[in-house]
Amino acid sequence: MPAAALVLVLTAALFHSCWNALTKGARDQFAFLCLAVAVASVVFLPVTLWALPPGGVPAAAWPYVIATIALHALYFGALGRSYRSGEFSLVYPVARGLGVALVPVFAALLLDERPSTVGALGIALVVVGIVALQWIGRSRSAASAGARFGPGTGWALLTGLTIAAYALVDKAGVSRLHPVPYIGLMFVGSLLLLLPAALADRGRFQREWRTNWRAILVASVMTLTAYLLVLFAFRLSKAGYVVAARETSIVASVVIGRLWFGERNLATRLAAAAVVLVGVVCLAIAP
């Protein structure tokens, strides 16, 4: 992986874990995310319009722009629900780890790219780490009742599916349209899809803004910057490598969960997150 791409991705990973922690700490996670997307969309709109090609968006890029808009709207919705019901140090690693594990799988199915032995090992380790994290994250009541998943795990799994899908879409999309207008259109389009939910219950969004407007502003900058860095990295390196390196934030999420939210089982969750991280490293170095 080129050094420039690695620096971009590691910086994005730091920003990503921080804005996700801000989202988890919100009163209404879905409203928080919608407001952060709205701020980012409006502030970045002049840059988006300025960066558009002279002839407008190329026809070849539109299918990818439309697809990423739909996938990101679903992503924001699922992420908000997962943080509403699950612990940060459980939800974040499951969602991100599943995303990085599925990218090589989807690439094999859609692009006929078969994983190497090291790559297959990495996928297996990520899956094992995910299972361990959700097992550790089960509440005592859920465990005694025989529940298979911890709170928020189902939504985290859906989030991971959308991450894998939009990663593949965006890898192809930024080869047809520059990352700056691409991400701007993605944010504006996602906002339009999320807008009906805001209009249906304006009170929840108004309350969230009054309570957390400072955190929303910070999160809007971080989420826009983090994924813009990833899009530039996609132009420099393979999708699997970029997605894998980005998930170095998984271990940070476990630490944040303990220090910021007082979540328990730090040692065991770190051990499970380390398994995910080893799998991520295998994917990153796989030929």
Comparing 261 with 83, the larger pLDDT belongs to 83
What is the reported pLDDT for 119? Answer: 74
What is the reported pLDDT for 136? Answer: 62
Q: Over range 221-250, report the average pLDDT.
A: 82
What is the reported pLDDT for 144? Answer: 42
Q: Is the pLDDT of residue 97 over 50?
A: yes
What is the reported pLDDT for 236? Answer: 84
What is the reported pLDDT for 200? Answer: 80
Q: Over range 20-29, report the average pLDDT.
A: 85
Record the tokens describing residue 70, joined without a space. 């739909």
Q: Over range 85-109, report the average pLDDT.
A: 73
Sign of torsion over alpha carbons 170, 175, 178, 179: positive
Q: Is the pLDDT of residue 154 over 90?
A: no
Q: Is the pLDDT of residue 49 over 90?
A: yes
What is the reported pLDDT for 146? Answer: 43
Measuring CA to CA, how many Å separate 46 from each of 33, 212, 240? 21, 25, 32
CB-CB contact of 16 with 226 (8 Å): yes
pTM value is: 0.79
Q: Over range 79-95, report the average pLDDT.
A: 75
Confidence of residue 147 (pLDDT cuts 50, 70, 90): very low
Record the tokens describing residue 76, joined without a space. 């924001």
Domain edges within the chain: 3-285
Mean pLDDT for the chain overall: 81
